[in-house]
Structure 1
Amino acid sequence: MTQPHGRPLPGELHVWWLPVPPGTSSGRARSVLDAAETERAGRVRRPERRHRFVLAHAGLRLLCGRYLGTAPGEVAFERAPCPHCGGGHGRPRLRDAGGLHFSMAHSGTAVLYAFSTAPVGVDLEAAPARPGLERTVGAWLHPGERRQLHRLPQAERPGAFLRLWVRKEAYLKGIGTGIAHGVNGPPGSYDDEWALLDLGAPEGFVAAAAVRGGAPKTLRCSSLSPSAVARGTGAGTGTAVWSSVREAAGEVPRSLLAKVASWPAPGGDGMERTPN
C-alpha cells in the first residue's frame, strides 16, 4: 500500500500545479488509467492533447492515491447525482473517500488540482483568452457581470473577462452542474455557502477556486513534476514543495502558485514539506 500523505484538514485547501510542456513523455502514465479513461484518451485526436489528457488523469490518480494510501491504478471514481435533475452526471468524486473532495482543471500546458474536506471546484484558463472566446460565451454571463466588463477600458476587458469566467466555472464545477444547466447566474453572489478565491497562477494562466463552507484559513500549494507522473506506478510523486500561507477568513490569497512553481524540486522519493 502506498504511504498516505497528510490529508487536508478542515478549513484547509491543497492546490497542486502540474506543468505539461511540449515534448514531455507520458512514460508509464497510461498504465494507471482505467478502461473508461483509456477509451476517452483514445478519442482525443490531436496527439499533444491526448498526451496532456493522459498526464492530467494520471496525475490525479497519483495524488488521490497518496492521500488515500492506495496505488494510483486502484483509485475508484464515480459521479455524484446532478443537483438539478438527479442524473448520474454530477460532480466527479472518489468512491469511499472518507470526506476527501477534489477538482481538476487543465488548459494549454498546465493542470490544476484542488483537494479539500468540503466540496471544491477549480478552473484554469490560458491567457490571453482564445480569439473569439468572449463573443462565444459572453452571452452566458450575468447582466451584472457584463455591465462590469463594459465599464472597463477596452484593453482591460479580456483579462477581466477571464477572471470572471474562471470564477464562474470553478463555482459550477463545485456545485456539480457544469455549464449544462446554464451559467448566467452571478457565481457565489446568491450562495453564501460558497467562497470564491482568485489563485495567482504562473504567467500565462488565470485560475480560481470555489470552496463550500467559506474561505479556507490555510492554503497549501505545491508543484508536481511531469516526470513523476510519467513514472506512473513509481515510488510516489517525489518532487513536491509545500508552502503554508495563513489567511484570515474572506481574504483572497494571490500570487502563490507562481511562487511555488518557480521553486526547484527536492530530490528523493519522499514528499518533503517545509515547516509552517
Structure 2
Amino acid sequence: MTVPHPAAGPAAVHIRWFTVPPPGAETAAAERLLDPRQRERAARLRRPLSRHRKVLAHAALRVLLAERLGGEPGEFELGRAACPQCGGPHGRPFVAGARGFEFSMAHTGDEAVYAFSAEPVGVDVESGRVGARTVRTVARWLPPGRRAVLDALPEAERSEAFARLWVHTEALAKGRGTGLAHGFGAVASARPPWRLVDLPAPDGLVAALAVTARDASAVPRPEGGRLPAASVVEAAGRIRGSGATARAWHDSEPASGNGGRAHDARA
C-alpha cells in the first residue's frame, strides 16, 4: 500500500500517549485490526492481561497511523528494516510505502507511548521503581561511563536513576535500529550524535526520546497529545466512518507540558 503524505521539518517530533482500558469485549475486536504477525506475537504471551495490553497497544498504534497517514487502521503493512550493524531483520519499524515517516512505540503496564517523526526516532517507557537487586545485576551490563554515573549516587537515588539510564539506552537502541541485540557497547558508540530527551510521563513511570541531532545546539521539543481513553475499537470505527482523509501526520494536536530535558547521547 502506497501512502502519500507531506514532508515535515526535521525537528518535528510528535508524541502520543495511550492508556490501555481494562480487559473486556473490545480485546477481540481490537485484535482484528492487527496483522497476522502481530496477532501471533500477542498469542505467545501466557498471561491474559499481558495479551490484552499488547493487543490494545498495537491496535492504538494503527489508529494513530490512520490519523496521520490516512486510510484504515487494519490496512497498514508494517515491517522491520535491516539492522545497520548486522543486516538482520530487527531494525527500525516502518510502514510500507510511507517514505520519510519514522515511528517508535513502547508500553509498560497500562501505558503506551508513541513517537512519530520525519527522522529516525526511538522511544521507551519503564517503571521508575526498580528493585535494588535488579539495579545491581543489570547495571553491570551498562557502558562504563553510564555505570560510573550510577555508582556515584547514594543508594536511595539509584532506582530512579537506573530507570532513566535504561530508558535512555533503550530509546537510543530503537532509534539506531540495532535494539540491544549487539550489547550496550554498540548503543554507547552511536554515530552520528543523537539527542536524548526526558519525556514527561504518568506517575511512577520514566520515559525518554532519542532523535538525531543535525544541529548540536538544538534542543528537540516534542509535541503531541493523548489518544482518548475511549475504546480503540471505537476510535477505529470513527476513522472508518468519517469517510474523509485523516489529518496529515505532522499536524497533531498540541499537548500541555510536553517539553523535556535534552542530553547528548554520547554522555
Counterpart of 1:235? 238
Residues 27 and 56, structure 2, Cα contact 8 Å, conserved in 1:
yes
Distance 1:216 1:147, change over 3 A: closer
CA distance in 1, matches of 2:257, 2:22: 31
1:202 aligned partner: 202
Q: CA RMSD in A?
A: 2.8
- In structure 2, what is the equivalent of residue 161 of structure 1? 162
Q: Distance in 1 between matches of 2:72 and 2:100?
A: 19
Q: 1:69 matched to which residue of 2?
A: 70
- Deviation for aligned residue 1:51: 0.4
1:193 deviates by: 2.9
Shift of 1:187: 3.7
Matches within 5 A, 1:96-135: 96-130=97-131, 132-135=133-136
Change (3 A) 1:174 1:213: same
Residues in 2 aligned to 1:6 and 1:149: alpha-carbon distance in whole angstroms: 43
- In the alignment, does 2:264 pair up with 1:252? no
* Partner-residue secondary structure (3-state), 1:236: helix
- Separation of aligned partners in 1, 2:13 and 2:256: 10
Deviations 1:166-220 (A, max 9, x none): 00110001111111100145747x6353111111211110000001134565421
Q: SS of 1:10's equivalent? A: coil
- So what's the TM-score if we normalise by structure 1? 0.79
1:31 aligns with 2:40: no
Query: Any stretches of 5+ residues in structure 1 without a counterpart?
Result: 254-276
Q: Share of identical aligned residues, percent?
A: 45
| Residue 180 (1) aligns with residue 181 (2) | yes
Aligned AA for 1:77?
A: L
Aligned residues of 1:5 and 1:66 also touching (Cα < 8 A): no
What is the one-letter code of the residue matched to 1:62? Answer: V
Change (3 A) 1:97 1:144: same
SS at match of 2:237: coil
Is contact 2:23–2:52 with CA below 8 Å preserved after alignment? no
In the alignment, structure 2 segments of 5+ residues that lack a partner are 243-251, 263-267
Aligned match of 2:245 = none
CA distance in 1, matches of 2:211, 2:27: 31
Contact kept in structure 2, 1:124 and 1:205, CA below 8 Å? yes
Structure 1 residue 221: Cα displacement: 2.3
Question: Cα deviations across residues 240-264 of structure 1 (Å, max 9, x unaligned)?
Answer: 96327797xxx727xxxxxxxxxxx
* Shift in Å, 1:22: 3.9
Q: CA 1:45 to 1:226, structure 2 compared with 1: closer, same or farther past 3 Å? A: farther
Choose between structure 1 and 2 for higher RCO, CA contacts under 8 A separated by at least 6 residues.
2
Matched letter for residue 235 of structure 1: R
Counterparts of 1:90 and 1:168, CA distance in 2 = 15
Compared with structure 1, are the counterparts of its residues 246 and 126 closer, same or farther at alpha carbon in structure 2 (3 Å cutoff)? closer
| Whole-angstrom distance in 2 between the partners of 1:127 and 1:91 | 25
Shift in CA distance, 118/218, structure 1 to aligned 2, threshold 3 Å: same
Q: Is the contact between residue 21 and residue 231 of structure 2 (CA under 8 Å) also seen in structure 1?
A: no
* Cα distance in 1 between the residues matched to 2:212 and 2:200: 20
TM-score where L is the length of structure 2: 0.82
| Structure 2 residue 27 is the aligned partner of structure 1 residue 18 | no
Classify 1:234/1:9 alpha carbon distance in 2 versus 1 (closer, same or farther; 3 Å): farther
Q: 1:218 to 1:156 in 2, by over 3 A?
A: closer
> Letter of the aligned partner of 1:42 in structure 2?
A
